[in-house]
Structure 1
Amino acid sequence: MNHEDILAELERYACRHGIKVRWASKLNPHTPPVVSVHFRTIVMNSNWEDKNEYPLQLAHEITHIEDGDPDNLILPYSNVAQMDYGVEYKANRGAIDMLLPYYTETFLDLSELNAVEFMQQFSIPSHLEGYVTSKVNRIIGDYIKEENANY
């Protein structure tokens, strides 16, 4: 599934959960997306400099709303801000959990999953490598256990 398909799926998911997603086209390429948990609205920047980040950004903002994070604690999406604030790190974990199924569905043999490849595909910042690696290793381990149980 390509990024446009994944974005469409995430937008449908948001809509089913009462979350509005708006795309702003007149923003600077460095203006990050923002979320209002109270109004259940996400504003994405259609001019963002790295289009590969869109799925991560949208899933991240959806997670803020689903978690009911307070509006006054939420920072705009940025790689630096996400390293330092627990609420941002938690939203990143939720985003990764939301994106992993899109990555894993392309594999017939889940033992071939690669955390670095997943991170590159979705432009996931390097400070999240530990979390991604643990999630991918868990998926691989569960797959291997299931395969061994079938023999």
Structure 2
Amino acid sequence: MNDLIQYLFNFAFDHNIGVLLLSTSKEYNSLADKTKKTIIINTNWKNQNEIPFIIGHEIGHLMDGEPCLSYFCGTSLSSKERTADLFSLNIIFEYATLQYDSFEEPIQFIQQYGIPNRMLDDACRLFKKNDDLVF
């Protein structure tokens, strides 16, 4: 997980996105502050396995160029939240590909990388789209 987190932070830095880490209540949502082009990540999130996905999600908000603050809330998703989720799924898939990680099924991929189950259908489509890759 640490290598994936470092990969995501490097992606953020390469795109002039600042990263602020804080440890607070397990329920405190991570944020993307577009006015400061910074993501604020709660390192004490209740589901530690989701932290890389959340990092990718928050980066996705800034890459999308949305105005204002955005945060991961784990509830029903607006189109902007869904777009950020898809960004995170894709960047983690890219990382897994670069690592030559092999998965026979998309469910293995999302479980290995702490991707929420709500992303399974999207992961299936991603695998089909990239079926020429060895997984």
TM-score by length of 1: 0.80
Matched, 1:133 2:134: no
Q: Aligned-pair distance for 1:106?
A: 4.2
Q: Aligned-pair distance for 1:5?
A: 0.8
Percent identity (aligned):
24
What CA RMSD, in Å, does the superposition of the two structures yield over aligned residues? 1.8
Pairs aligned (count) = 134
Structure 1 unmatched ranges of 5 or more? 145-151
Bigger share in helix: 1
Q: Aligned-pair distance for 1:122?
A: 2.3
Matched, 1:17 2:15: yes
CA–CA separation in structure 2 for the residues paired with 1:102 and 1:84: 24
CA–CA separation in structure 2 for the residues paired with 1:43 and 1:127: 23
CA–CA separation in structure 2 for the residues paired with 1:115 and 1:12: 25
CA–CA separation in structure 2 for the residues paired with 1:104 and 1:68: 26
Q: Aligned-pair distance for 1:65?
A: 0.4
Q: Aligned-pair distance for 1:127?
A: 2.1
Matched, 1:88 2:81: yes
Q: Aligned-pair distance for 1:84?
A: 2.8
CA–CA separation in structure 2 for the residues paired with 1:28 and 1:57: 16
Say if 2:50 and 2:116, in contact at 8 Å, map to a contact too: no
TM-score by length of 2: 0.89
